[in-house]
Structure 1
Amino acid sequence: MTQMIKARAGKITEEMEMVALQEGVTPEFVRDGVAAGRIVIPKNKNRNRSKICGIGGGLDIKINGLMGTSSDRDDMEMEVRKIQAMEEEGASAFMDLSMGDHINEMRKLSLTMSNIAVGCVPVYQASVEAVEKRGLMVNMTSDDLFSVIEQQCEEGMDFMAVHSALNMDLLKILKKTGRTADIVSRGGSLMTGWMFHNDKENPLYAEFDRLLKILKATDTVLSIGDAIRPGANADSLDQSHLRGLMVAGELTKRALEAGVQVMVEGPGHVPLNHIPSAMLLQKRLCYDVPYYILGFLATDVAPGYDNITGAIGGAFAGMHGADFLCYLTPAEHLGLPTEEDVRIGVRTTKIAAQAANVLKHGTAWDRDLAMAKARVARNDEEQIRLAINQANLTAAFAKSPSHGCAVCRDTRCPADVAAEFFGLA
């Protein structure tokens, strides 16, 4: 049985208890959230690990990273180092987007070398195998695609981005209305090419019940991929974007009825003034299931700094109900990320999540308050412990050992001066 089906039967699982302890809520709160679909716990029944997270309403925002081999850089050792870097920096999950020569081997390493949730995009492997076996990706059959999905679930994938919310009606709307950037989703473009070439409906939409049956068998969380997400701020909340949300909502309802844990992926390029509306529409149309944000990118003109533009949009989205933030690295729109890009991406997104989590007055608020008190007390060790990037603060304190503040150095601390006047010295 899935976590959702167990929750609906009134059972509190070990995973629910672990999430409750981490979040400072009751196990009953987690159980009720899972039962209603507001919370998901990505934990494949075939994969053993000790780090469990909950994603969704009433919980702290979680962070997802990305890695994977490609035809341009097929270096599995580097990708393993990226996995280790993401986990060390505090990501709750990552997705293996491999399309290189050894996809199966890389996925096995992703699952065995990590202790956090792992996701994937099955159409990537299916498209590579179709080229190898049938000459062209468009020659892929429905059975080819579902065979890959089943294989990846059986091997232990905790969540899976599946581009089901893309159908012929939606593509007709896109062709009729037009866009600045038509389709920027790689999975979405692959399925679009397949659909137009074969003049057939997307099998991930047409055979959605088949998909649910496979996911349910291993309790793999369905992440409904946003194949039609806006790739430019000019396309945000256009007809295609909104219709895509409606299709996602239709499929979300079917997943919930089947007892399959589900979350919905959200758009990439969205201006700040659209974020409240985008969040409200998603939650309303998709039955309050967790929202997995691919951005938001608040501006289109900052290549090399998209980790910052993504954090700005991500913090604002978190304030309005986003549950899961996918990091952006400085390499976004430039090329493949390095290991250092990965670390920067996680750290920057953690700042965005922390800024939004503080508003909930839970553990994030307590952490901010503890840091403020540690600064006033000039408690170096406590400041380092609480910092998102501990190495930066450690290095700063090492440069000014005569004074417990990296900012004031040898001058008199304003906190000390104020303490004299308020009788606290």
Structure 2
Amino acid sequence: MSYTTQMDAAKKGIITREMEIVARKENMDAEVLRELVAKGQVAIPANKNHKSIDPEGIGTGLRTKINVNLGISKDCPSIDAELEKVQTAIDMKVEAIMDLSSFGKTEEFRKRLIDMSPAMIGTVPMYDAVGFYDKELQDITAQEFLDVVKKHAEDGVDFVTIHAGINKSTADIFKRNPRLTNIVSRGGSLLYAWMELNNQENPFYAYYDQLLDICEEYDLTLSLGDACRPGSINDATDASQIHELIILGELTLRAWERNVQVMIEGPGHMAINEIAANMLLEKKLCHGAPFYVLGPIVTDVAPGYDHITSAIGGAIAASSGADFLCYVTPAEHLRLPNLDDMKEGIIASRIAAHAGDIAKGIKGAKEWDYKMSKARQELNWERMFELAIDPEKARRYRKESMPEHEDSCTMCGKMCSMRNMNKVMAGKNINILREDD
């Protein structure tokens, strides 16, 4: 039996090769996974033209995945520098990479990225349109925007962020409800500007069926972008954000009717006490579609440390139902991240994702922590390094400050609680001041 997309196959009762791979990774029965894909509660972004992909699932009952944003800009146009980051991200086993290139002819970087990456690849075609056509924003036509999406799909991109929810009605809500930071989404702000300059409806909303044609042809997953995500905790959970979310829920159902997989993108900047309610709202209003969040960043006052503010919010979001976390680096709000910034962002995001998985009861999550605790109890340093999220840093810290006694560290020495409890429970003398017998 033939099928067009993962969702189409799932609805027809077909377990695809991609579903089999994801089910093995998640220790899940493939039939259970198929049912979740059929319902739209799990997406498996895997473009038919992305030959190097090692598929991953995003959604209900699965491990929380993380995404890394990379790409060239006008001020930092080096493709080789970005590809070095790509290889490092792949080595660190990230599940997704988004190419957010926003300068010049981006096709070379995008194609090389897709060719080398087993991780799923996402893009925001809106960023590419100005450089692709070498036109000012106002002069780009609705059809040209759609054509850029098709070009990305042909190249093998697995998911695209499309800000289809910032339509005329959402724009009217935004105008009537002033915000401190207006529209901070780069793609969303460009679309809003295009709509205002041309006095036209959002082309991705007006020609949504044509967009779905492209997605269906290539099994391109739609990541419905949140143009009105809050850019400050002051603007969180306001009328613009919620109105757009309602529109995204309607667009989700239209996509599913065409067997197009969907993810929903979410905030943004948000106080801790609002995160759980926002996760519930998304799942309710968007019919259980996978939720992809940026952060949330829980305070606005920590430039240089936003990998931490984001990890705090990401852990709470994941524990409350978010399925996919977009990493944030220490360079957020300041500059294009360098290689070290990217590494820190990845580790912080992985910690948040894993913490969320523990709370959600994801199979195998607590077992990882059990193994680490067992290694600590046994003072088995090599095993601790093997189990660490960042083994390289753990080994380096240990090596930089070696203790006098191998069964301790330089913080506690022979007062180490693990060492002494092991000894006393084995009926041995502790010998803190004297040499061991």
TM-score range, shorter chain: over 0.9
1:255 corresponds to which letter in structure 2?
A
1:344 corresponds to which letter in structure 2?
E
Q: Distance in 1 between matches of 2:378 and 2:422?
A: 11
- Structure 2 partner of 1:56: 59
User: Is the contact between residue 22 and residue 57 of structure 2 (CA under 8 Å) also seen in structure 1?
Assistant: yes
| Deviation (angstroms), 1:81 | 0.8
Residue 289 of structure 2 is aligned to residue 289 of structure 1: yes
- Structure 2 partner of 1:10: 13
Unaligned runs of 5+ in 1: none
- Structure 2 partner of 1:382: 383
* Range moving further from structure 2, 17-26 or 242-251: 17-26
- Structure 1 partner of 2:432: none
| Deviation (angstroms), 1:380 | 1.9
State how many pairs are aligned: 422
- Structure 1 partner of 2:35: 32
Could you give the per-residue CA deviations for residues 123-142 of structure 1, whole angstroms, max 9, x where no partner exists? Answer: 11112234x1x4x2111001
Structure 1 residues 406, 392: CA separation in 2 closer, same or farther (over 3 Å shift)?
Answer: farther
Segments ≥4 residues shifted beyond 3 Å: 404-410, 419-425
User: Is the contact between residue 40 and residue 262 of structure 1 (CA under 8 Å) also seen in structure 2?
Assistant: yes
- Structure 2 partner of 1:325: 325
1:21 corresponds to which letter in structure 2?
R
User: Is the contact between residue 168 and residue 201 of structure 2 (CA under 8 Å) also seen in structure 1?
Assistant: yes
Q: Distance in 2 between matches of 1:339 and 1:128?
A: 25
Could you give the per-residue CA deviations for residues 93-142 of structure 1, whole angstroms, max 9, x where no partner exists? Answer: 01001122231111111111222110000011112234x1x4x2111001
- Structure 1 partner of 2:173: 173
Could you give the per-residue CA deviations for residues 338-388 of structure 1, whole angstroms, max 9, x where no partner exists? Answer: 111111100110111111111215222110000000111122221111101
- Structure 2 partner of 1:345: 345
User: Is the contact between residue 105 and residue 132 of structure 2 (CA under 8 Å) also seen in structure 1?
Assistant: no
1:13 corresponds to which letter in structure 2?
T
Unaligned runs of 5+ in 2: 429-437
* Range moving further from structure 2, 56-65 or 121-130: 121-130
Q: Distance in 1 between matches of 2:215 and 2:101?
A: 20
| Deviation (angstroms), 1:25 | 1.1
Residue of structure 2 aligned with 1:68, choices 43, 68, 71: 71
Could you give the per-residue CA deviations for residues 171-211 of structure 1, whole angstroms, max 9, x where no partner exists? Answer: 11111111111100010111111101110000100111110
Equivalent position SS for 1:263: strand
User: Is the contact between residue 100 and residue 124 of structure 2 (CA under 8 Å) also seen in structure 1?
Assistant: yes
User: Is the contact between residue 295 and residue 313 of structure 1 (CA under 8 Å) also seen in structure 2?
Assistant: yes
TM, length-normalised to structure 1? 0.96
- Structure 2 partner of 1:395: 396
1:174 corresponds to which letter in structure 2?
F
Structure 1 residues 310, 424: CA separation in 2 closer, same or farther (over 3 Å shift)?
Answer: farther
- Structure 2 partner of 1:126: 129
TM, length-normalised to structure 2? 0.94
- Structure 1 partner of 2:435: none
- Structure 1 partner of 2:373: 372
- Same amino acid, percent of matched pairs: 41
Q: Distance in 2 between matches of 1:418 and 1:188?
A: 58
Equivalent position SS for 1:48: coil
User: Is the contact between residue 49 and residue 156 of structure 2 (CA under 8 Å) also seen in structure 1?
Assistant: yes
User: Is the contact between residue 306 and residue 332 of structure 1 (CA under 8 Å) also seen in structure 2?
Assistant: yes
Q: Distance in 2 between matches of 1:123 and 1:416?
A: 58
- Structure 1 partner of 2:117: 114
Q: Distance in 1 between matches of 2:50 and 2:213?
A: 19
- Structure 1 partner of 2:431: none
User: Is the contact between residue 396 and residue 406 of structure 1 (CA under 8 Å) also seen in structure 2?
Assistant: no
| Deviation (angstroms), 1:407 | 5.3
